[in-house]
Structures are given as C-alpha cells and as structure tokens.
Amino acid sequence: MVGINFQSIRISSWKQFESIDIDFHRNLTIITGANGSGKTTVLNLLSRHFGWSYVELATPIKNKVSGGFGYISRDWSKRRLININFNSPIGIHGGQQQVDYIGDLVYSNGAKVDLTLPGQDYTGAQYHINISNMQTIKGIGISSHRQIFKYQQVVSIHTARRTKDEAYRLVFQSNMNRYNGNVNANIPPNSFYIKETLISWAMGGSGNEFITGDEELKRWRWYNAR
C-alpha cells in the first residue's frame, strides 16, 4: 500500500514569501534558492508531519503612543481572517477562534488543509503554524544546519533481519534525541544506524548458511543489478 505524500503547498504574504506555489513530485523534489529565500522555512513546516515542532518568532514592533513593544506574525494589511471551530480535532482551545489564513497544503490522497497563524489579537513573541486536520506521513526531518559528524565504528553485524520500519525508527529517534538535547556518549548517532543497516543488508540480504535471505531485498533493483 502506497503511503500518503505531499502534493503541493501554497503560501502568501508571510515571512519572506510574497507568494509561492510548489508542486511536489511523488519521488523527488529539489528546492533551490539563495540564502534567506525560505528553503528552510518550507522544510520546517513540512517536518511538522514527522514529529518536529519548530517555533516561529514574531516581529517586534514599537507602539508610538505608549512606547511599549508588541509582536506581529505578519503584515496585517494583507491578512485574511477566518473563524475555525476549535472544538473539532484540529484545535485544542475549544470554541470559535479567529485565525489568520496564509495558505494551504494538499496531500496525495486529495486532502486539503489550511495553514493559519494566531489571530490578530495574539501578541506573543513566539507562535506555531496551525495545520488543520494534518495527515499522517512517514518521513525524517533533517536540519539544514548540519550537526557535527560523529564517527562510530560498526564492530558487529546483526544476523537478525532488520526491517525498513525498524531502521526508520532508529534513525528518527536518534535525530529527535539530538534535536531535543538528549545527547548521550553511549548512544550511537544516526549515521551509525544507517551504516549498520546498509552493511547488514549488503552482506546478508541474499542469505547464507547463517542468515535467512530477505525476499524484499532480493527484489530491489540495485541488488539484482550486481
């Protein structure tokens, strides 16, 4: 069964975006642009589906009358305010709440969801983008600001078959630990799990007197082309 993927994203009048409209290829999409053009902003937004929670910073503004400071999350002259029922599964506060619409996200299953900011009355210095009725997508978020590589030797190869789901969970949890600051010298980095998995698949994928062959790996095109 084919999983759900991203189909398109549209954002207007928010942060560095006047208007963007991206259609995602089902296999690979490459996003390029100059520094500060918004590549990381888009990736961080999509990574919300993979368990990451990036906080957006509002823009401080000074009240010319009182001299105090407040915060805005966008240019309110370009706002489009809508009411959302936060008694539904997409909300957490209950009741009707006015939010600011900045775009939408479409999935490969045809679902279309709104991307919204807190309403005009919200004055916090930090905020989150609300993705209404967010779909479940399996993936890994990789920060555009690379971490320092940590080498760890693979000293043994497991004879038990490691499935793709198991490999995914190991790498995902390693990424989350580092992102949340839970770094332990005894816990291998994500690169270790990637190496360990690929080596074990390459050495034991076809099977031998000690390891039962993996039929799924045998069907992989790269394996049959050896």
Structural domain boundaries of the chain?
6-131, 164-224
Sign of the C-alpha dihedral computed for residues 40, 43, 48 and 50 taken in this order: negative
What pLDDT is recorded for position 77? 42
pLDDT, one tens digit per residue, over 156-204 is 877 777 888 888 888 888 877 776 766 665 677 888 888 888 888 777 6
Instruction: Count other C-beta atoms under 10 Å from residue 212's C-beta.
Output: 11
Closest C-alpha to 114, from 44, 18, 45:
45
Cβ(202)–Cβ(222) under 8 Å?
no
| Ranges under pLDDT 70 in the chain | 1-2, 69-99, 119-121, 143-151, 179, 181-186, 204-207, 210-212, 217-226
What pLDDT is recorded for position 73? 67
